[in-house]
Amino acid sequence: MFGLINLNKPATWTSHDCVAKVRKILKLKQVGHGGTLDPAATGVLPIAVGKATRLLSYMSDRKAYQAKIRFGVTTTTDDLEGEIIQTHSGEHLTLEVIQPHLEQFIGKIEQIPPIYSAIQRDGKRLYELARKGEIIEVPSRIVEIDDIKVLNWTQGEFPEIDLAIACGSGTYIRAIARDLGKALGVGGTLAQLIRTESCGLHLADSITLEQLEILRTRNNFTLISPLSALTHLETIYLPSDDAQRWCRGQAVAISLEPHPHPSVKVLTEEGSFLGMGIIISDSDNLILKPKVVLV
Strand positions, DSSP E, 140-219: 141-154, 160-167, 188-198, 201-202
Element (H, E) at 59: none
Q: How many CB atoms lie within 10 A of CB 59?
A: 25
> CA dist 201 to 44, 48, 81, 133, 190, Å?
7, 12, 27, 38, 24
Choice among 17, 38, 179, 284 that is catalytic: 38
Q: How many CB atoms lie within 10 A of CB 87?
A: 14
Q: Quick one: which of 40, 39, 34, 38 has its CA closest to 63?
A: 34
146 as an active site residue: the answer is no
Return d(Cα 275, Cα 34) in angstroms, integer. 18
Q: Provide Rg for the chain, Cα atoms.
A: 22
Active-site residues: which are they?
38
